[in-house]
């Protein structure tokens, strides 16, 4: 019998192996999300590459772009392209630039049938990161195709879906539900990951929109009318 010190921990035998109480260590490199609290809960310590990441949110404007911005900025800084497939509104160039995205390498794809470009982009492996807003009617089969295509995609791939899709099964190895948690903050609930379930949502402080004073106001809302009057007085 060999001594315990020479025995390798079981999970070191193969990168795909992890114990049920441990977080899976990503086989592939990961892209750090930029949020230390979130990285700590993600297998491998960041957004997975070569796999779909599903983000479920109940609408637009919950801070989803601010959540993804650090990762997308790093992709751009590495000289690789970012694809925004079917965004829900007109992106504002100035805001994206302020979030650190390299606009020269950022391309917006629009059209009626977005599954084709999405799949091609993932399969080609030429895009640095892909963020896709998929229609609510996206079938599980289509998602499986995308997950297969994402295996040759060298970078993070985010699929944003409506929160209602949380009940449906998904082939994406990482599923997160995003919800607002007050001004400039976000609660990320991990629905599925390689590892034990996480009950508590992860609270993140997003890149701020509000000044400190405005955040205080937002946390203690008063009557709007009074606010307007007060703000006008300041102005």
Partner 1 sequence: MLWIGVHLPALSLECFVATLAPELPAGEQLVDDLDDIDLVGPVALIAQHRIVAANDAARASGVRCGQKRATALGLAPHLRLGEADPARDEAALMAVAHVLMGFTPAVSFGGDHVVLAEVQASLRYFGGLPRLVERLRAELAPLGHALRLACAPTPQGAQWMAVGGDDASFVADKARWRARVGAVPVARMAAAAPHRAALDALGLATAADLCRQPRAGLTRRFGSQLLADIDRALGDQPDPRTALQPAPVFDSRLELFMRADDSAALLTGAAVLLNRLTAWATAHHGLVGGFELRLHHESRRRMIEDPSLRTTTLDIGLGEPVADTAHLHALLRERLQRLPLAFSVIEMSLHCHSITPGAPPNTELFPSAASVGEGWSRLLERFEARLGAHNIQRLQPVADHRPERATAVRVGGDAAPARTRGAGQPLNLAPPLNMAASGDPAHWPRLKRPVWLLRQPQPLRDEAGTPLLAGKPLWLVAGPERIESGWWDGGYAARDYFIAQDHEGALLWVYRFRHAPEVSETGWYLQGRFG
62-81 residues near partner 1, rule: CB under 8 A: 62-66, 69-70, 73-74, 76-77, 79-81
Q: Which stretch binds partner 1 (CB under 8 A): 17-25, 58-66, 135-143, 195-203?
A: 58-66
DSSP codes, 132-197:
EE--TT--HHHHHHHHHHHTT--SBEEEEEEGGGGGS----SEEEEEEE-STTEEEEEEEE-SSS-
Residues 160, 132 contacting (CB under 8 angstroms): yes
Q: How far is the CB of 153 from partner 1 (least distance, A)?
A: 11
Dihedral angle sign, alpha carbons of residues 43, 47, 48, 54: positive
Q: How far is the CB of 26 from partner 1 (least distance, A)?
A: 20
Residue 21 near partner 1 by CB under 8 A: no
Q: Which stretch binds partner 1 (CB under 8 A): 39-47, 139-147, 164-172, 227-235?
A: 227-235
Residue 61 near partner 1 by CB under 8 A: yes
Q: Among residue numbers 88 through 147, which ones bind partner 1 (CB under 8 A)?
A: 88-111, 116-117, 120-121, 124-127
In angstroms, how far is CA 101 from the centroid of its own chain?
A: 15
Element (H, E) at 231: helix 224-234
Q: How far is the CB of 191 from partner 1 (least distance, A)?
A: 19
Q: Which stretch binds partner 1 (CB under 8 A): 2-10, 11-19, 20-28, 87-95?
A: 87-95
């Amino acid at each position: 019998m060999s001594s315990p010190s020479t025995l390798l921990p079981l999970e070191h035998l193969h990168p795909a192996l992890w114990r049920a109480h441990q977080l899976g260590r990503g086989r592939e490199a990961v892209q750090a999300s930029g949020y230390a609290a979130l990285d700590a809960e993600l297998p491998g310590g960041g957004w997975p590459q070569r796999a779909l990441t599903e983000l479920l949110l109940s609408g637009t404007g919950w801070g989803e772009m601010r959540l993804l911005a650090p990762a997308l900025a790093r992709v751009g800084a590495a000289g690789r392209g970012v694809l925004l497939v079917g965004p829900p509104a007109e992106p504002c160039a100035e805001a994206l630039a302020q979030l650190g995205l390299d606009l020269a390498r950022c391309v917006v794809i629009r059209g009626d049938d977005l599954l084709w470009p999405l799949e091609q982009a993932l399969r080609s492996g030429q895009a640095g990161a892909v963020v896709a807003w998929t229609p609510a009617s996206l079938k599980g089969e289509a998602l499986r195709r995308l997950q297969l295509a994402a295996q040759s995609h060298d970078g993070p791939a985010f699929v944003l879906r409506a929160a209602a899709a949380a009940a449906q099964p998904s082939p994406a190895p990482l599923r997160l539900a995003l919800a607002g948690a007050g001004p400039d903050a976000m609660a990320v609930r991990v629905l599925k990951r390689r590892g034990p379930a996480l009950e508590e949502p992860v609270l993140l402080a997003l890149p701020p929109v509000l000044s400190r004073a405005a955040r205080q106001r937002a946390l203690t809302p008063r009557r709007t009318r009074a606010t307007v009057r007060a703000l006008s007085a300041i102005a």
